[in-house]
Amino acid sequence: MSLSFQAKLILAISLLAAGISSVSSYIFYQTIQSHVWTQTAARLKDIGRAGQYMLNLEDRRGIQELDRLSEQMARPRNPNILESIRPGENLPNLSDGDRQKLESRKDYRRLVQIMRRIKHSTRQSLATPDEEIPQQIDIADPPLLRYAYILVPIPESPDRRILKFIVDGDDRRLDTDGDGAIESDEEATQIGMLYNVTGQPQMLKALDGQVTASKEYYRDEWGVWLSAYIPIQDSEGQTFAVMGIDLSAESEFSLINRVQRILAAVVVTSVFLATILGLVISRILARPLTELTAAVTRVQNRDFNVRLKTNSRDEFGRLAQAFNEMVRDIESYALYMEDIVTRKSQELQTTLRKVRDLKNQQDADYYLTTMLANPLLKNGNVSNVVHTDFLIEYKKKFQYEKWEAELGGDLCVTANPKIEGEGYTFFFNGDAAGHAMKGAGGALITGSLLSSLVAREGVGLDPSEWLQGMVLELQKVFRGFDGRVKLSCVMGLIHDRSGALYSINAGHPKTVLFRNGRARFLEESPVSSRIGEEMGTWPTTRVQLETGDVLVAGSDGRDSMRVGGSPIKQSGPDNDTFLGVVEKGQAELHRMREILYSLGEPADDISLMRIAYRESVHPPGATPGSEAVVEEVEKLIRLEEYNTALSLLSRIEDENFFRHYYSGLCYSRIGDNARALESLQEARNLVGERANVLYLLGQTYANSGRRFAAIEVLQKAAFLQPEDDRISTLLESLQSEPAE
């Protein structure tokens, strides 16, 4: 909220007056309060000193004797009983018979009379000598001292937190004020009662031999009080008890409250007068400022014809004259700047058009490169013995016209070449160095070379020689770039019949062998140099695979994560962290991806390839026992008997891939898109990124009206299987729809 100058001036003067009067009143009030308390406390301590002299040596011995006898008669005092007494509360500790026996003693009755005499010494009237003082209070002439009592420590409370009553002037349960009711302050305080003095530290000082008083007035339901505590010493000067006296301080407290109200009235009056004064002053000073503010507002709205009158020669007059000169200068400068802005805006628009054209041209190059590279990056393996799968995620994502795509240097290729008439499965995972376009160019070159090299028949060559020839051909091409383009990769051949593995690693992160639930690196020696660097040697690693073995290859994106916006390397490309990822994810691509992303965001392109030898002829989660049911379900789907098919599918175990895949298909055909999405997501979780699952999932998203989700999964399906016209047709149809 914005305040005017006039309001600020009034507020400032009022606050200044309030501050000065409040501070001075507070100091005065504190001085009065401190003086009254000091004087009252001093007088109360004087009364206590005089009162303790009424206790002669025989009386003091009587106190000690009563203490000794009450200790002998006391009930057991375990720590729990003492802990149960809260501050300010008391607890009887003698039986009624023992208490009455002690109260009938002469020394006890004498001490009661002394306490009452100390109290009654503060009345207006004088007591007759040797007259027995009753407990009843004369309402017309009440004593200022309301209570007088003696306390002693007990052995069970070494910190003296719990004390014991020996005598109190009010030792009978009596309606002392004559109002016909027994209030809690009129209950008897009896000998032997235990009392918690935690909230009264000044009383403990009295046990150390000091005459003390409470630090300030305190109020309870019966009034305002001030207490003093006087040590009682034996003939040897040792303090063995404390006498407490409580003064009713209503009159003193009322005086202080009256002073407080007077000072509050002074503060309010001063603020009121200061507000009136501020209003008068502000009206005198605010008028020229109001005119100046209005003129500034007009200038702000580009009205440069405004001028202020310069009637006076004081500061306001000089300010008005300076304002008029400033307006003339601003008008001239504004016209000049408008011309500059117009010319610069035209230049900027021209530059922006050029930048936009260059950006469109760059995106077109990106898109063309992506379209050329996608057909080369395919899972061409059709072996029934070796199953391969891979995923690639690029950091560079872009949009060209209505198409969204991604670009990078990672690539994965599988094929089934014939070498000496024997069937082999070829796998390749590579990473062309460089960001975005440079890396994608290297990947495009590599993919083109691999397509032509794999197609050649390996006649007269063993698998190791065939791989070495592949590496040398790649090296020959990449060396032609004089080291500006380099490639790290791992490639291998698996003999379908025997499971013999031949692999070469050229500067790529080590391949992982997952066997019997344990992961280890396949290559034992350090990896060789990258392709495109100085000529080196690339030794062939030969391993005999066993049934169920899984190989996991991946680019260095698997070891380079971004945490908190900063990329970090996980202790080198061959660290044990990735072995843990493989074991935890059971060598399943989608699980390993989830674990990697839980560690952080990859700082580079990431590609993972999974090669399984004789793992299963079924997708993960399928079992041979379910084949007959699946065949029957497929027949029912062809006959469009979807509900019957769903009934059969419910009999298959929950971990079966076909149960969820065909359930999603049936639900989508009968229009239950919610259940279809749920089933297809389960199927996707079981087998990872499969083109057929992603296509059906994209269809269902589109039917549910979730266009962007459909485009996302269909783009992945098109990347995995670019030759499938169904996927590309549906994707283009969704991308051509106008955005809502």
The pLDDT tens digits of the residues spanning 462-499 come to: 899 999 998 998 888 888 887 788 889 999 999 988 88
Owning domain of residue 588: 377-613
Does residue 663 contact residue 626 with C-beta atoms inside 8 Å?
A: no
- The pLDDT value given to residue 98: 92
Higher pLDDT among residues 375 and 704, named by residue: 704
Torsional sign, CA 189, 195, 201, 206: positive
Residues β-bridged to residue 566: 563
- The pLDDT value given to residue 71: 92
Q: Total structural domains in the chain?
A: 4
Q: Is the pLDDT of residue 536 over 60?
A: yes
Residue 680 lies in a domain: yes
Helices 463-479 and 436-455: crossing angle in degrees, nearest 10, is 140
What is the mean pLDDT of the segment spanning 557-569? Answer: 62
Residue 45 lies in a domain: no
Alpha-helical segments (H) within 104-229? 106-120, 201-207
User: Of the candidates 155, 181, 151, 153, which has an alpha carbon nearest to the alpha carbon of residue 167?
Assistant: 151
User: 244: which DSSP letter?
Assistant: E
**What is the spatial distance between Cα 167 and Cα 189, in angstroms, rounded to a whole number?**
8
Q: Single out the residue in 216, 248, 280 at which a domain terminates.
A: 248
Backbone angles phi, psi at 94, to 5 degrees: -125, 150
Q: Is the pLDDT of residue 461 over 70?
A: yes
User: Of the candidates 64, 135, 132, 75, which has an alpha carbon nearest to the alpha carbon of residue 99?
Assistant: 75
Residue 319, H or E segment: helix 315-373
What is the mean pLDDT of the segment spanning 116-144? Answer: 78
Residue 244 lies in a domain: yes
Residue type at 78 in one-letter notation: N
- The pLDDT value given to residue 589: 86
Instruction: Check which CATH number belongs to the domain holding 150 and give it.
Output: 3.30.450.20
- The pLDDT value given to residue 221: 58
Higher pLDDT among residues 458 and 167, named by residue: 167
Helices 5-52 and 250-300: crossing angle in degrees, nearest 10, is 160
What is the mean pLDDT of the segment spanning 17-36? Answer: 78
Query: 632-655 pLDDT, tens per residue?
Result: 888 888 888 888 888 888 888 888
20-24, 51-55, 91-95, 467-471 — which is least confidently predicted? 20-24
Confidence of residue 357 (pLDDT cuts 50, 70, 90): low
Ramachandran area for residue 522 (φ above 0: left; ψ -120 to 50: alpha; else beta): alpha
| 677 and 596 inside one domain | no
Q: Is the pLDDT of residue 219 over 90?
A: no
- The pLDDT value given to residue 303: 79
Residue 422, H or E segment: strand 422-432
User: Of the candidates 411, 476, 475, 469, which has an alpha carbon nearest to the alpha carbon of residue 609?
Assistant: 411
User: 609: which DSSP letter?
Assistant: E
Query: 244-274 pLDDT, tens per residue?
Result: 998 877 666 666 677 777 878 777 888 888 7
Confidence of residue 320 (pLDDT cuts 50, 70, 90): confident
Torsional sign, CA 183, 187, 189, 192: negative
Q: Confirm whether pTM is higher than 0.75.
A: no
| 575 and 602 inside one domain | yes
Residue 579 lies in a domain: yes
- The pLDDT value given to residue 624: 45
| 546 and 663 inside one domain | no
**Burial (CB count within 10 angstroms: exposed 0-12, middle 13-18, buried 19+), residue 587:** buried
Residue 534 lies in a domain: yes
Q: Which two tokens stand for residue 340?
A: 């500059």
What is the mean pLDDT of the segment spanning 130-158? Answer: 84
Distance of CA 61 to the CA centre of its chain: 68
What is the mean pLDDT of the segment spanning 59-65? Answer: 92
- The pLDDT value given to residue 252: 62
Query: 664-678 pLDDT, tens per residue?
Result: 999 999 999 999 999
| 222 and 310 inside one domain | no
Residue 405 lies in a domain: yes
| 99 and 207 inside one domain | yes
Q: What is the chain's Cα-based Rg? A: 49
Query: 94-128 pLDDT, tens per residue?
Result: 998 999 999 899 999 999 999 988 888 888 777 77
Higher pLDDT among residues 335 and 102, named by residue: 102
Q: Single out the residue in 248, 264, 285 at which a domain terminates.
A: 248
SS3 428: strand
| 447 and 587 inside one domain | yes
Q: Which two tokens stand for residue 660?
A: 């969820």
Q: Is the pLDDT of residue 622 over 70?
A: no
Q: Which two tokens stand for residue 460?
A: 């007269």
| 72 and 161 inside one domain | yes
Cβ neighbours, 10 Å, residue 36: 17
**What is the spatial distance between Cα 408 and Cα 393, in angstroms, rounded to a whole number?**
8
- pLDDT, averaged across the chain: 82
Alpha-helical segments (H) within 516-609? 576-584, 589-599
| 574 and 456 inside one domain | yes
Q: Single out the residue in 561, 581, 613 at which a domain terminates.
A: 613
Residue 34 lies in a domain: no
Q: Is the pLDDT of residue 384 over 80?
A: yes
What is the mean pLDDT of the segment spanning 316-324? Answer: 76
SS3 224: strand
Residues β-bridged to residue 418: 423
SS3 552: strand
Distance of CA 356 to the CA centre of its chain: 42
64-68, 304-308, 609-613, 669-673 — which is least confidently predicted? 304-308
| 582 and 654 inside one domain | no
**What is the spatial distance between Cα 412 and Cα 44, in angstroms, rounded to a whole number?**
98
| 644 and 515 inside one domain | no
- The pLDDT value given to residue 617: 44
Q: Is the pLDDT of residue 629 over 70?
A: yes
| 540 and 396 inside one domain | yes
Residue 11 lies in a domain: no
Instruction: Check which CATH number belongs to the domain holding 421 and give it.
Output: 3.60.40.10
| 400 and 364 inside one domain | no
Torsional sign, CA 314, 319, 322, 327: negative
Helices (H) and strands (E) in the chain, counts: 19, 24
Residue 415, H or E segment: strand 410-415
Higher pLDDT among residues 145 and 253, named by residue: 145
